[in-house]
């Protein structure tokens, strides 16, 4: 668990540019020491960025947040091995590999497709930190079966295998509360004695999109709501990109349970709005089952229809595709602000944040973009879309 769940916040100011012209006609500047949100009364065009991309040299963004409560559970239960899966350039798989290796736990990664000719980006990180097995796409389609089978092989005849959600429920039953995973105090845990005992294998689902992944995100909300950061009275709109949607739901749950006047806007990238709403409903239901009254699970009653505002990407496309000019736009933003985005995920949130902070936006409030990390995606994209990255 991170001893400090906070993050650096920058303020991005816009110059030039008009609605409909696109970001290429807009100039940006980055204030590394921004004024308080309460002082920003829309005298200029600006939005804030929570720099979760700076959490860790390679383990950053929403992947680090979702693992924030996962790793203490693994250590408390003396887990020796973790099995998870993802795409060839999976940020989740790489994050699990790094986080586990730092704690003496063996990571086993099942990656979809074929081994690339040149390993780079998140694939390279996964290879350096974890034990990789490439899985044919036909087998990968049956994820649960694939994960269970591989975990059994890792555990061996006398080892034990359990899914993360089941282990989390056991931990909650043992300690009677999920609240300890939300506290910001640094804790000490006993490291796994790898190789000395029978193997204890935990299976983590793709993307770490389970209820336990919400807790690290809620810790972030709790930190941001402190008076010296955003505070509890300031009306804000938080914008982020949505892959599985877990981070967006975690932000919304945290805001509702803490009584914050915050709106969460998630840019849909990988699923239909019906799919995201179904996922949101499941996560809310799961969270209410494990949350104690201290964190006001009752505040979520009647909100099963949803708290997150799911929106389409400004320039829609099939997930994983990069449009002409987007790599250059990321370069444009990086040179002017020092903030690196990627065309698939974080650029989508940046585009929406720009729209929401313009004068013609409805229901204006301070806009905060959560940078969900993923900048190593650029390495893999540069291989797949070579013409887009040629200077």
Q: What is the pLDDT of residue 224?
A: 94
Rg (CA), the chain: 21
**CA–CA gap between residue 307 and residue 131 (Å, rounded):** 39
Confidence of residue 364 (pLDDT cuts 50, 70, 90): confident
Residue 2 confidence (pLDDT): 64
CB 208 within 8 A of CB 70: yes
Q: What percent of the chain has pLDDT over 90?
A: 61
pLDDT at 384: 83
Main-chain dihedrals φ then ψ at residue 30, nearest 5 degrees: -115, 120
The Cβ-side half-sphere exposure at 359, using a 13 Å CA radius, reads: 5
* 88-120 pLDDT per residue, tens: 999 999 999 999 999 999 999 999 999 999 899
- Please report the pLDDT score of residue 186 as a whole number: 42
* pLDDT score, position 135: 97
Length of the chain: 391
* 46, 78, 90, 152: the active-site residue: 90
195 pLDDT above the threshold of 60: no
Q: What is the pLDDT of residue 15?
A: 83
Model confidence pLDDT, tens digit, residues 52-78: 999 988 888 899 999 998 999 999 999
90 is an active site residue: yes
* Of 135 and 176, more confident: 135
The domains located in the chain, with CATH, are: 9-59+213-389 (3.40.50.1100), 71-209 (3.40.50.1100)
Spatial neighbors of 137 by CB under 8 A, at least 6 apart, are 112, 113
pLDDT in tens, 288-313: 887 765 555 566 766 666 799 999 99
- For the entire predicted model, the pTM comes to 0.89
- Determine the average pLDDT of the residues in 12-28: 76
Separation CA 147–CA 254 (nearest Å): 31
The contacts of residue 202 (CB under 8 Å, 6+ apart) are 74, 77, 79, 81, 82, 83, 161, 162, 163, 164, 167
């Amino acid at each position: 668990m991170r001893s400090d769940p906070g993050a650096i916040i920058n303020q991005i100011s816009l110059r030039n540019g008009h609605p409909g012209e696109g970001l290429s006609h807009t100039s940006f500047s980055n204030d590394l020491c921004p004024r308080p949100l309460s002082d920003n009364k829309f005298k200029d065009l600006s939005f804030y960025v929570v720099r979760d991309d700076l959490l860790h040299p390679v383990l950053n963004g929403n992947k680090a947040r979702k693992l924030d409560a996962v790793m203490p559970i693994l250590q408390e239960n003396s887990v020796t091995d973790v099995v998870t899966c993802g795409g060839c350039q999976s940020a989740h798989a790489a994050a699990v590999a790094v986080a586990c290796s730092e704690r003496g736990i063996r990571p086993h990664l099942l990656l979809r497709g074929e081994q690339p000719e040149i390993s780079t980006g998140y694939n390279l990180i996964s290879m350096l930190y974890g034990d990789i097995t490439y899985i044919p796409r036909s087998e990968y389609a049956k994820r649960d079966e694939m994960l269970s089978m591989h975990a059994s092989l890792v555990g061996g005849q006398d080892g034990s295998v359990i899914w993360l959600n089941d282990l989390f429920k056991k931990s909650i039953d043992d300690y009677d509360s999920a609240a300890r995973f939300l506290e910001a105090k640094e804790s000490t845990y006993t490291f796994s004695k790898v190789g000395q005992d029978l193997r204890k294998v935990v299976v983590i689902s793709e993307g770490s999109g389970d209820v336990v992944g919400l807790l690290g995100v809620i810790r972030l909300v709790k930190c941001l709501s402190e008076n010296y950061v955003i505070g509890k009275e300031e009306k804000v709109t938080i914008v982020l990109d949505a892959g599985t949607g877990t981070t967006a739901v975690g932000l919304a749950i945290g805001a509702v349970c803490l009584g914050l006047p915050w709106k969460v806007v998630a840019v849909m990238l990988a699923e239909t709005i019906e799919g995201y709403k179904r996922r949101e409903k499941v996560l809310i239901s799961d969270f209410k089952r494990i949350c104690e009254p201290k964190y006001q699970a009752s505040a979520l009653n009647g909100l099963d229809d949803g708290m997150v505002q799911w929106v389409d990407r400004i320039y829609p496309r099939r997930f994983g595709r990069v449009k002409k000019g987007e790599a250059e736009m990321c370069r444009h933003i990086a040179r002017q602000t020092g903030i690196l985005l990627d065309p698939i995920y974080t650029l989508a949130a940046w585009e929406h944040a720009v729209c929401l902070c313009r004068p013609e936006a409805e229901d204006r409030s301070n806009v905060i973009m959560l940078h969900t990390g993923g900048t190593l995606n650029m390495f893999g994209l540069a291989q797949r879309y070579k013409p887009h990255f040629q200077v």
